Amino acid sequence: MADLTHFDPDSAGNPNNGIFGLPFTEEDAKLVILPVPWEVTVSYKAGTARATEKICRASLQVDLTDDDYANGWKQGIFLREIDKNVLAKSDYLRKEAELYINYIAEGDALCDNKFMQKVLREINEGSAFLNEWVYEQTKELLGKGKLVGILGGDHSAPFGFYKAIAEKYGEFGMLQIDAHADLRSSYENLTYSHASIMYNALEEIPQLIKLVQVGIRDYSSGEVDYIKKSNGRVVTFFDKKIKERGFEGDTWKQIVEDIIAQLPEKVYVTFDIDGLDPKLCPNTGTPVPGGFETQQVNYLFRKIIESGRQFIGFDLNEIGVSSNEWDENVGARVLFKLCNLLIASNENYATV
Protein backbone atom coordinates (compact mmCIF):
# COMPACT_ATOMS: atom_id res chain seq x y z
CA MET A 1 0.00 0.00 0.00
CA ALA A 2 1.27 3.46 -0.89
CA ASP A 3 2.30 5.83 1.87
CA LEU A 4 -0.40 8.54 1.93
CA THR A 5 1.14 10.46 4.83
CA HIS A 6 2.08 13.42 2.65
CA PHE A 7 -0.80 13.18 0.20
CA ASP A 8 -3.48 15.85 0.57
CA PRO A 9 -6.77 14.64 -0.95
CA ASP A 10 -8.18 18.16 -0.77
CA SER A 11 -5.45 19.74 -2.88
CA ALA A 12 -5.51 20.21 -6.66
CA GLY A 13 -4.94 17.05 -8.64
CA ASN A 14 -1.26 16.53 -9.38
CA PRO A 15 -0.71 15.74 -13.10
CA ASN A 16 2.51 13.92 -12.18
CA ASN A 17 0.44 11.34 -10.33
CA GLY A 18 -1.94 8.82 -11.87
CA ILE A 19 -5.66 8.81 -12.61
CA PHE A 20 -7.61 11.17 -10.29
CA GLY A 21 -4.26 12.57 -9.16
CA LEU A 22 -3.68 9.50 -6.97
CA PRO A 23 -0.11 8.50 -6.03
CA PHE A 24 -0.38 4.75 -6.59
CA THR A 25 1.63 2.31 -8.63
CA GLU A 26 0.13 -0.79 -10.22
CA GLU A 27 1.77 -2.94 -7.55
CA ASP A 28 0.19 -1.18 -4.57
CA ALA A 29 -3.21 -0.43 -6.15
CA LYS A 30 -6.19 -2.57 -5.25
CA LEU A 31 -7.90 -1.79 -8.58
CA VAL A 32 -6.23 -1.57 -11.98
CA ILE A 33 -7.93 0.04 -14.98
CA LEU A 34 -6.93 -1.35 -18.37
CA PRO A 35 -7.44 1.13 -21.22
CA VAL A 36 -8.50 -0.48 -24.50
CA PRO A 37 -8.06 2.11 -27.29
CA TRP A 38 -10.17 0.33 -29.89
CA GLU A 39 -12.95 1.67 -32.11
CA VAL A 40 -12.73 -0.46 -35.23
CA THR A 41 -16.41 -1.46 -35.23
CA VAL A 42 -18.12 1.86 -34.43
CA SER A 43 -21.07 2.43 -36.73
CA TYR A 44 -21.45 6.20 -36.50
CA LYS A 45 -19.13 8.66 -34.73
CA ALA A 46 -15.54 7.75 -33.86
CA GLY A 47 -13.21 9.22 -31.23
CA THR A 48 -13.64 6.89 -28.27
CA ALA A 49 -10.28 5.18 -28.87
CA ARG A 50 -8.62 8.38 -27.73
CA ALA A 51 -10.88 9.09 -24.77
CA THR A 52 -8.55 7.66 -22.11
CA GLU A 53 -5.98 10.47 -22.25
CA LYS A 54 -8.65 13.16 -21.97
CA ILE A 55 -10.49 11.29 -19.22
CA CYS A 56 -7.25 11.09 -17.29
CA ARG A 57 -6.78 14.85 -17.62
CA ALA A 58 -10.39 15.54 -16.62
CA SER A 59 -10.05 13.18 -13.65
CA LEU A 60 -7.73 15.68 -11.96
CA GLN A 61 -10.81 17.85 -11.40
CA VAL A 62 -12.73 15.08 -9.61
CA ASP A 63 -12.92 15.62 -5.86
CA LEU A 64 -12.10 12.45 -3.95
CA THR A 65 -14.97 12.68 -1.48
CA ASP A 66 -17.60 10.12 -2.44
CA ASP A 67 -20.77 10.25 -0.33
CA ASP A 68 -21.37 6.54 -0.88
CA TYR A 69 -17.83 5.14 -0.53
CA ALA A 70 -15.73 7.67 1.33
CA ASN A 71 -12.41 5.85 1.53
CA GLY A 72 -12.45 3.54 -1.48
CA TRP A 73 -9.72 5.45 -3.30
CA LYS A 74 -7.34 4.91 -0.37
CA GLN A 75 -7.06 1.26 -1.34
CA GLY A 76 -5.49 2.35 -4.62
CA ILE A 77 -6.66 2.98 -8.18
CA PHE A 78 -4.20 2.77 -11.06
CA LEU A 79 -4.62 3.36 -14.78
CA ARG A 80 -2.23 1.49 -17.07
CA GLU A 81 -0.54 3.24 -19.97
CA ILE A 82 -2.25 3.02 -23.35
CA ASP A 83 -0.75 0.28 -25.50
CA LYS A 84 0.35 2.20 -28.59
CA ASN A 85 0.47 -0.94 -30.72
CA VAL A 86 -3.20 -1.63 -30.02
CA LEU A 87 -4.07 1.99 -30.79
CA ALA A 88 -2.12 1.89 -34.06
CA LYS A 89 -3.88 -1.32 -35.07
CA SER A 90 -7.22 0.28 -34.26
CA ASP A 91 -6.39 3.35 -36.35
CA TYR A 92 -5.43 1.24 -39.36
CA LEU A 93 -8.42 -1.07 -39.18
CA ARG A 94 -10.80 1.82 -38.51
CA LYS A 95 -9.91 3.31 -41.89
CA GLU A 96 -10.46 -0.09 -43.48
CA ALA A 97 -13.80 -0.41 -41.68
CA GLU A 98 -14.99 2.97 -42.91
CA LEU A 99 -14.36 1.89 -46.50
CA TYR A 100 -16.11 -1.40 -45.92
CA ILE A 101 -19.14 0.03 -44.08
CA ASN A 102 -19.66 2.69 -46.74
CA TYR A 103 -19.47 0.01 -49.43
CA ILE A 104 -22.09 -2.30 -47.97
CA ALA A 105 -24.30 0.65 -46.92
CA GLU A 106 -24.77 1.42 -50.61
CA GLY A 107 -26.19 -2.06 -51.15
CA ASP A 108 -23.28 -3.46 -53.12
CA ALA A 109 -22.80 -7.21 -52.95
CA LEU A 110 -19.82 -8.37 -50.92
CA CYS A 111 -19.36 -11.44 -53.13
CA ASP A 112 -18.63 -9.14 -56.08
CA ASN A 113 -15.66 -7.39 -54.49
CA LYS A 114 -12.60 -9.40 -53.45
CA PHE A 115 -10.90 -6.37 -51.98
CA MET A 116 -13.81 -5.76 -49.60
CA GLN A 117 -13.83 -9.45 -48.71
CA LYS A 118 -10.18 -9.09 -47.75
CA VAL A 119 -10.93 -5.97 -45.70
CA LEU A 120 -13.72 -7.74 -43.83
CA ARG A 121 -11.43 -10.67 -43.08
CA GLU A 122 -8.73 -8.33 -41.73
CA ILE A 123 -11.24 -6.53 -39.50
CA ASN A 124 -12.56 -9.77 -38.02
CA GLU A 125 -9.03 -11.07 -37.51
CA GLY A 126 -8.14 -7.79 -35.79
CA SER A 127 -11.11 -8.13 -33.45
CA ALA A 128 -10.06 -11.68 -32.58
CA PHE A 129 -6.55 -10.37 -31.81
CA LEU A 130 -8.04 -7.67 -29.55
CA ASN A 131 -10.18 -10.21 -27.68
CA GLU A 132 -7.15 -12.38 -26.96
CA TRP A 133 -5.03 -9.39 -25.92
CA VAL A 134 -7.66 -8.17 -23.45
CA TYR A 135 -8.14 -11.71 -22.13
CA GLU A 136 -4.42 -12.16 -21.46
CA GLN A 137 -4.01 -8.75 -19.84
CA THR A 138 -6.99 -9.12 -17.52
CA LYS A 139 -6.31 -12.76 -16.69
CA GLU A 140 -2.85 -11.73 -15.50
CA LEU A 141 -4.25 -8.95 -13.31
CA LEU A 142 -6.96 -11.14 -11.82
CA GLY A 143 -4.34 -13.77 -11.12
CA LYS A 144 -2.45 -11.22 -9.04
CA GLY A 145 -5.54 -10.58 -6.92
CA LYS A 146 -6.33 -7.23 -8.52
CA LEU A 147 -9.79 -5.84 -9.06
CA VAL A 148 -10.04 -4.86 -12.72
CA GLY A 149 -11.98 -2.36 -14.80
CA ILE A 150 -11.88 -1.79 -18.57
CA LEU A 151 -11.91 1.69 -20.10
CA GLY A 152 -12.84 1.60 -23.79
CA GLY A 153 -12.91 2.10 -26.65
CA ASP A 154 -16.07 0.92 -28.39
CA HIS A 155 -18.31 -1.60 -26.66
CA SER A 156 -16.62 -4.57 -28.34
CA ALA A 157 -13.48 -3.81 -26.28
CA PRO A 158 -14.18 -5.78 -23.08
CA PHE A 159 -15.13 -9.17 -24.57
CA GLY A 160 -11.85 -10.85 -23.62
CA PHE A 161 -12.30 -9.63 -20.05
CA TYR A 162 -15.66 -11.40 -19.84
CA LYS A 163 -13.89 -14.70 -20.50
CA ALA A 164 -11.26 -13.96 -17.85
CA ILE A 165 -13.98 -13.00 -15.35
CA ALA A 166 -15.85 -16.23 -16.07
CA GLU A 167 -12.72 -18.29 -15.41
CA LYS A 168 -12.04 -16.41 -12.19
CA TYR A 169 -15.53 -16.28 -10.64
CA GLY A 170 -17.60 -19.01 -12.28
CA GLU A 171 -21.30 -18.26 -12.74
CA PHE A 172 -22.19 -14.57 -12.73
CA GLY A 173 -24.75 -12.06 -13.93
CA MET A 174 -24.24 -8.94 -15.97
CA LEU A 175 -25.89 -5.55 -15.48
CA GLN A 176 -25.87 -3.64 -18.77
CA ILE A 177 -26.48 0.11 -18.74
CA ASP A 178 -27.00 1.02 -22.40
CA ALA A 179 -29.18 2.67 -25.00
CA HIS A 180 -28.74 -0.35 -27.29
CA ALA A 181 -29.43 -4.04 -26.77
CA ASP A 182 -26.20 -5.14 -28.54
CA LEU A 183 -27.78 -8.55 -29.26
CA ARG A 184 -27.26 -8.72 -33.04
CA SER A 185 -25.69 -11.99 -34.13
CA SER A 186 -23.39 -10.17 -36.54
CA TYR A 187 -23.70 -6.51 -37.44
CA GLU A 188 -22.49 -5.49 -40.91
CA ASN A 189 -20.82 -8.94 -41.09
CA LEU A 190 -18.47 -7.86 -38.29
CA THR A 191 -18.37 -10.87 -35.96
CA TYR A 192 -17.24 -8.96 -32.87
CA SER A 193 -19.06 -5.71 -33.50
CA HIS A 194 -19.93 -3.35 -30.68
CA ALA A 195 -23.55 -4.10 -31.68
CA SER A 196 -22.99 -7.82 -31.00
CA ILE A 197 -21.09 -7.74 -27.71
CA MET A 198 -23.94 -9.08 -25.57
CA TYR A 199 -24.91 -11.71 -28.13
CA ASN A 200 -21.32 -12.96 -28.30
CA ALA A 201 -21.03 -13.01 -24.51
CA LEU A 202 -24.21 -15.06 -24.14
CA GLU A 203 -23.26 -17.46 -26.93
CA GLU A 204 -19.63 -18.04 -25.92
CA ILE A 205 -19.61 -17.71 -22.13
CA PRO A 206 -21.86 -20.26 -20.42
CA GLN A 207 -20.93 -18.93 -16.97
CA LEU A 208 -22.90 -15.78 -17.86
CA ILE A 209 -26.19 -17.05 -16.47
CA LYS A 210 -28.13 -13.77 -16.52
CA LEU A 211 -28.04 -10.54 -18.50
CA VAL A 212 -30.10 -7.69 -17.08
CA GLN A 213 -30.34 -4.77 -19.49
CA VAL A 214 -31.43 -1.35 -18.26
CA GLY A 215 -32.31 1.74 -20.29
CA ILE A 216 -32.51 0.06 -23.71
CA ARG A 217 -34.26 2.28 -26.26
CA ASP A 218 -32.76 1.50 -29.68
CA TYR A 219 -33.06 -2.08 -30.90
CA SER A 220 -34.04 -4.35 -33.77
CA SER A 221 -36.92 -6.81 -34.07
CA GLY A 222 -34.39 -9.63 -34.15
CA GLU A 223 -33.00 -8.52 -30.80
CA VAL A 224 -36.49 -8.49 -29.29
CA ASP A 225 -36.98 -12.04 -30.55
CA TYR A 226 -33.68 -13.09 -29.01
CA ILE A 227 -34.76 -11.68 -25.64
CA LYS A 228 -38.12 -13.47 -25.81
CA LYS A 229 -36.48 -16.79 -26.72
CA SER A 230 -33.80 -16.59 -24.02
CA ASN A 231 -35.98 -18.34 -21.41
CA GLY A 232 -35.34 -15.57 -18.92
CA ARG A 233 -31.57 -15.53 -19.36
CA VAL A 234 -31.96 -12.01 -20.77
CA VAL A 235 -34.23 -9.59 -18.91
CA THR A 236 -34.60 -6.14 -20.44
CA PHE A 237 -35.90 -3.04 -18.70
CA PHE A 238 -36.67 -0.89 -21.71
CA ASP A 239 -36.32 2.86 -21.25
CA LYS A 240 -39.88 3.42 -22.50
CA LYS A 241 -41.34 1.07 -19.89
CA ILE A 242 -39.23 2.59 -17.13
CA LYS A 243 -40.42 6.07 -18.03
CA GLU A 244 -44.05 4.95 -18.30
CA ARG A 245 -43.91 3.34 -14.86
CA GLY A 246 -42.65 6.64 -13.50
CA PHE A 247 -45.42 8.57 -15.26
CA GLU A 248 -47.98 6.23 -13.68
CA GLY A 249 -46.72 6.57 -10.13
CA ASP A 250 -44.00 3.98 -9.59
CA THR A 251 -40.91 5.33 -7.86
CA TRP A 252 -37.36 4.72 -9.04
CA LYS A 253 -36.89 2.80 -5.80
CA GLN A 254 -39.60 0.33 -6.82
CA ILE A 255 -38.14 -0.08 -10.29
CA VAL A 256 -34.65 -0.60 -8.86
CA GLU A 257 -35.96 -3.30 -6.55
CA ASP A 258 -37.38 -5.12 -9.58
CA ILE A 259 -34.05 -4.82 -11.40
CA ILE A 260 -32.05 -6.13 -8.44
CA ALA A 261 -34.41 -9.07 -8.00
CA GLN A 262 -33.25 -10.34 -11.40
CA LEU A 263 -29.55 -10.32 -10.52
CA PRO A 264 -27.58 -13.27 -9.09
CA GLU A 265 -25.06 -12.95 -6.27
CA LYS A 266 -22.08 -12.00 -8.46
CA VAL A 267 -22.62 -9.03 -10.74
CA TYR A 268 -20.47 -7.58 -13.51
CA VAL A 269 -21.30 -4.04 -14.73
CA THR A 270 -21.00 -3.16 -18.41
CA PHE A 271 -21.64 0.55 -18.86
CA ASP A 272 -22.04 2.08 -22.30
CA ILE A 273 -22.05 5.82 -21.64
CA ASP A 274 -24.92 6.29 -24.09
CA GLY A 275 -27.16 4.72 -21.47
CA LEU A 276 -27.18 8.21 -19.95
CA ASP A 277 -29.24 11.12 -21.20
CA PRO A 278 -27.35 12.38 -24.31
CA LYS A 279 -27.04 15.84 -22.77
CA LEU A 280 -24.38 14.15 -20.61
CA CYS A 281 -22.62 12.39 -23.50
CA PRO A 282 -23.41 14.28 -26.73
CA ASN A 283 -20.30 13.01 -28.51
CA THR A 284 -20.73 9.33 -27.79
CA GLY A 285 -20.69 7.07 -30.84
CA THR A 286 -24.46 6.65 -31.20
CA PRO A 287 -26.42 9.01 -28.91
CA VAL A 288 -30.12 8.25 -28.41
CA PRO A 289 -32.80 10.48 -26.79
CA GLY A 290 -33.94 9.29 -23.36
CA GLY A 291 -31.70 7.65 -20.79
CA PHE A 292 -30.66 8.31 -17.22
CA GLU A 293 -29.21 10.97 -14.98
CA THR A 294 -25.98 9.85 -13.31
CA GLN A 295 -27.60 9.92 -9.87
CA GLN A 296 -30.25 7.41 -10.99
CA VAL A 297 -27.57 4.93 -12.01
CA ASN A 298 -25.53 5.60 -8.87
CA TYR A 299 -28.60 4.88 -6.75
CA LEU A 300 -29.06 1.57 -8.56
CA PHE A 301 -25.42 0.64 -7.95
CA ARG A 302 -25.65 1.51 -4.26
CA LYS A 303 -28.80 -0.54 -3.77
CA ILE A 304 -27.18 -3.55 -5.45
CA ILE A 305 -24.31 -3.39 -2.96
CA GLU A 306 -26.74 -2.94 -0.06
CA SER A 307 -28.55 -6.08 -1.23
CA GLY A 308 -25.41 -8.08 -0.45
CA ARG A 309 -24.47 -8.80 -4.04
CA GLN A 310 -20.83 -8.64 -5.09
CA PHE A 311 -19.54 -6.55 -7.97
CA ILE A 312 -16.76 -8.48 -9.69
CA GLY A 313 -15.65 -6.11 -12.47
CA PHE A 314 -16.74 -3.40 -14.86
CA ASP A 315 -16.21 -1.84 -18.25
CA LEU A 316 -16.97 1.74 -19.30
CA ASN A 317 -17.18 2.41 -23.02
CA GLU A 318 -18.11 4.73 -25.89
CA ILE A 319 -17.05 7.98 -24.22
CA GLY A 320 -16.64 10.59 -26.94
CA VAL A 321 -14.05 13.33 -27.18
CA SER A 322 -15.02 16.97 -27.57
CA SER A 323 -13.47 20.41 -27.78
CA ASN A 324 -14.96 21.46 -24.44
CA GLU A 325 -14.19 18.09 -22.77
CA TRP A 326 -17.73 17.78 -21.41
CA ASP A 327 -18.03 14.08 -22.32
CA GLU A 328 -14.67 13.32 -20.74
CA ASN A 329 -15.63 15.27 -17.62
CA VAL A 330 -18.79 13.21 -17.16
CA GLY A 331 -16.91 10.04 -18.08
CA ALA A 332 -14.24 10.67 -15.43
CA ARG A 333 -16.91 10.97 -12.74
CA VAL A 334 -18.70 7.85 -13.87
CA LEU A 335 -15.37 6.04 -13.83
CA PHE A 336 -14.60 7.22 -10.28
CA LYS A 337 -17.97 5.96 -9.06
CA LEU A 338 -17.45 2.58 -10.75
CA CYS A 339 -14.00 2.24 -9.17
CA ASN A 340 -15.29 3.09 -5.72
CA LEU A 341 -18.26 0.75 -5.91
CA LEU A 342 -16.07 -2.14 -7.09
CA ILE A 343 -13.66 -1.59 -4.21
CA ALA A 344 -16.43 -1.14 -1.64
CA SER A 345 -18.29 -4.22 -2.81
CA ASN A 346 -15.18 -6.40 -2.35
CA GLU A 347 -14.21 -5.26 1.14
CA ASN A 348 -15.74 -8.42 2.55
CA TYR A 349 -14.62 -10.75 -0.23
CA ALA A 350 -11.23 -12.28 -0.92
CA THR A 351 -9.87 -11.35 -4.35
CA VAL A 352 -7.04 -13.87 -4.50
Low-confidence residues in the chain, pLDDT < 50: 350-352
40-55 pLDDT, tens digit per residue, is 988 778 899 999 999 9
Torsion-angle region of 104 (φ positive above 0: left; ψ -120 to 50: alpha; else: beta) = alpha
pLDDT of amino acid 67: 87
The per-residue pLDDT for 222 is: 96
pLDDT given for residue 12 in this prediction? 87
pTM over 0.85: yes
Domains of the chain: 19-345 (3.40.800.10)
pLDDT tens digit sequence for 97-136: 888 888 877 777 888 888 989 999 999 999 999 999 999 9
